[in-house]
Amino acid sequence: NGASTFSESSPGPSTSKGPPAVIFSCGKTFASPEMASVHAARVGHVNFSESTEAAKVLTPEEAKQRQKEFVLAYHISHGATFCRFQRILEQIRLDREAMNNRVIMIFQEFQFYVTFCYSVSTLLRIESINLRKRTRLLSKSYRPKRGHLSIVRIAIHVSYR
pLDDT of the chain along its 161 residues, tens only?
Answer: 444 444 444 444 445 556 777 777 777 777 777 887 887 788 777 766 666 666 667 789 988 998 888 888 887 777 777 788 888 889 999 999 999 899 888 888 888 888 888 888 888 888 888 888 877 777 666 655 555 555 555 555 555 54
- Residue 13: the pLDDT is 46
Whether residue 25 lies inside any domain: the answer is: yes
DSSP letter assigned to residue 6: T
**Largest interatomic CA distance in the chain:** 144
Q: Give the chain's length.
A: 161
CA distance 105 to 98: 10
Whether residue 33 lies inside any domain: the answer is: yes
The angle, 0 to 180 degrees and rounded to 10, between the axes of the packed helices 60-141 and 151-159 is 140
- Residue 40: the pLDDT is 79
Whether residue 18 lies inside any domain: the answer is: yes
CA distance 157 to 83: 83
Whether residue 124 lies inside any domain: the answer is: no
- Residue 18: the pLDDT is 65
- Indicate the number of domains in the chain: 1
Name the residue range of residue 41's domain. 1-56
Whether residue 67 lies inside any domain: the answer is: no
- Residue 55: the pLDDT is 61
- String of b and e for 15-50 (b: at least 16 CB within 10 Å)? eeeeebbbbeeeebbbbbbebbeebbeeeebeebee
Sign for the pseudo-dihedral over CA of 87, 89, 93, 98: positive
CA distance 46 to 25: 8
- Residue 148: the pLDDT is 55
pTM above 0.75, yes or no: no
